[in-house]
Amino acid sequence: MNNVEILEPARPVTSGGYKVDVSRGERNGQVSSEWFNRPDDERYLSLDDLWSSVKRRSERSRSRVVQTADIRVEATRDSAERLHLVLRKAREPVAPTHWAFGQLASIVGAPVTYLRQLPAPLAGINLQYGLANHRAEQVKTFETEDVRTELRAVTGPDYGRIHDHELVEAVQRIAGNGTDDTRWKVPGVLDWSTGVYNPDVEISRDTTTLYASDRDVFLFLVDDHNPIEAGRLPDSSPDLYFRGFYCWNSEVGAKTLGMASFYLRAVCQNRNLWGVEDFQEITIRHSKYAASRFAHEAAPGLTRFANSSPQGFVNGIKAARQQIVARSDEDRDDFLKKRGFSKAESGKIIEKVLMEEGRPPESIFYSIQGITRLARDKTQQDARLDMESRAKKLLDRVS
């Protein structure tokens, strides 16, 4: 973190936090979804703890390419709910996880939902038939030794594995332990009753945003002790933002590797992100050269975001505020129509800005605010994302 540009911190608007306006920008529910679905044993209180867990798992794991014809499926009537796979040169049979069983069935073209409904001996017979008649000759296995040897993944032979601990290590290089020993930390909490975002909240199982399961890893951190001022609100108070990012990976092929960086105004108790602006995302499929792309693209990109100045973002917001595009209702309708909005949508966008800003949208910035607020009313995710995407394109075009 020696190369990080230290920004001049704004003074807290109120004791214990910063006054923010979460009615602006977009709401992002990805972190909330992760938070809601993670049991306690998938929640970690520091990056060190998270890294230790996934690193130990990696050290007990091995990957190899095997011939499908050499895989033997074993199951007995005494254990009707469990089957094992015997791999050539393996010291003992391996037990496929729920995920690996699904991968293997999918690779050989077997109906996985049907197989899971069968007793293990019958499922084994069907799976063995699929393996014996599989046209592709090779698969890559990923086995982990613990109390028993588990088969955690079965993929194509060219699968480019990026280990979960490698992603955590990339984050540790900029965020330390993720517990306030650097600028980057587990986020605080928004108090809805006051509109104040408090960055100093105890990290617990209920508040942490560091997660890992047997299938994946997910991390979300913010730089919320150093707010960025980008203009003023209607009441002349500063419009404050914080920098944030989240990233994810699955070394067993459950999802791609990805990173998203953005500016946000607050995080609430259930970990929804509010007032999100300038959302940027990169994903890397686990193809043959995935490890090289991670080393040369994703990890350096995360470091660049962590070390960069927000001045470009601030200048973009200021330019959007200053760029007048419509001074009359007719101009506003025409401007929005040319950007793909219907007359009914244009009317609702203008109404949103009038209601919340006390003025009609004249600049690109206020048009964007109206679009994102209307997007929140969309119940269908595709429609909401489409509208948010059009708002982002407007901001990107500001010179």
**How far is CA 242 from each of CA 44, 112, 224, 277, 384, rounded to the nearest angstrom?**
23, 45, 5, 10, 23
Residue 279 lies in a domain: yes
Integer Cα distance of 336 and 353 in angstroms: 14
Percent of the chain predicted with pLDDT > 70: 91
Residue ending a domain, choose from 309, 340, 372 = 309
Per-residue pLDDT, averaged over 134-159, amounts to: 87
46 pLDDT above the threshold of 90 = yes
Tell me: pLDDT of 327 over 50.
yes
pLDDT (0 to 100) of residue 397: 64
pLDDT of residue 399 exceeding 70: no
The pLDDT of residue 7 is above 60: no
Q: In the chain, pLDDT over 90 holds for what percent of residues?
A: 41
**Structural domain contains residue 150:** no
pLDDT (0 to 100) of residue 11: 46
pLDDT at 371 exceeding the cut of 70: yes
Which residue has better confidence, 293 or 81?
293
**203-218 average pLDDT score:** 96
Within-domain flag for 317: no
pLDDT band at 10 (very low <50, low <70, confident <90, very high): very low
Task: Establish if 213 belongs to a structural domain.
Answer: yes
Residues 390 and 255 in one domain: no
pLDDT of residue 271: 96
Same domain as 92, residue 136: yes
pLDDT of residue 348: 82
Tell me if 8 is assigned to some domain.
Answer: no
Residues 69 and 48 grouped into a single domain: no
Computed over every residue of the chain, the mean pLDDT equals 84
* pLDDT for position 361: 72
Judge if 65 and 50 occupy the same domain: no
> Which of 283, 309, 335 is the endpoint of a domain?
309
Tens-digit pLDDT profile for residues 165-202: 999 999 999 999 999 899 999 999 999 999 999 999 99
Q: Which is more confident, 52 or 13? A: 52
13 falls within a domain: no
Quote the pLDDT of residue 187.
97
Strand boundaries in 68-133, DSSP class E: 72-75, 83-86, 95-96
List the one residue out of 216, 222, 226, 265 whose CA is nearest residue 244: 222
Which of 229, 223, 240 shows the shortest CA–CA distance to 183? 223
More confident residue, 39 or 350: 39
For residues 126 and 182, state if they share a domain: no
Confidence check: pLDDT of 339 > 90:
no
Are 51 and 192 members of one domain?
Answer: yes
Whether 279 and 371 share a structural domain? no
22 in the same domain as 123: no
Residue pair 388/394 in contact (Cβ under 8 Å)? The answer is no
Is 305 a member of any domain?
Answer: yes
Residue 254 is predicted with a pLDDT of 93
DSSP state of 344: H
Least confident of 62-71, 219-228, 263-272: 62-71
Residue finishing a domain among 111, 145, 179: 145
Residues in the chain: 399
66: its two tokens: 């095997």
The larger pLDDT score, comparing residue 323 to residue 98, is at: 98
Structure tokens at 81: 């709910």
| pLDDT computed for residue 332 by the predictor | 77
Q: Higher-confidence residue: 16 or 77?
A: 16
- Calculate ∠ Cα 173-45-184, nearest 5°: 40
Q: What pLDDT is stored for residue 4 in this prediction?
A: 37
- The 10s digit of each residue's pLDDT in 260-310 is 999 999 999 999 999 998 888 888 888 877 878 787 778 888 888 888 777
Same domain? For 113 and 194 the reply is: no
Q: Which residue has the higher pLDDT, 336 or 140?
A: 140
Check residue 317 and give its pLDDT.
66
What residue numbers bound the domain in which 262 lies? 18-56+165-309
pLDDT at 342: 81
List 142's β-bridge partners, or say none: 63, 153
Mean pLDDT of 142-158: 89
Asked if 51 and 73 sit in the same domain, the reply is: no
Which residues lie closer than 8 Å to 47 by C-beta, 6 or more apart? Answer: 168, 171, 172, 175, 176, 177, 178, 179, 210, 219
H helix or E strand, kind and range, residue 363: none
Cα distance between residue 48 and residue 179, in whole Å: 10
Q: Same domain, yes or no, for 79 and 180?
A: no
Query: Looking at the structure, do residues 110 and 215 belong to the same domain, yes or no?
Result: no
Count up the domains in the chain and report the number.
3
Q: What does the angle CA 359 – CA 361 – CA 363 come to, to the nearest 5 degrees? A: 125
Residue 103 is predicted with a pLDDT of 92
Indicate whether 3 belongs to any domain.
no
What pLDDT sits at residue 398?
61
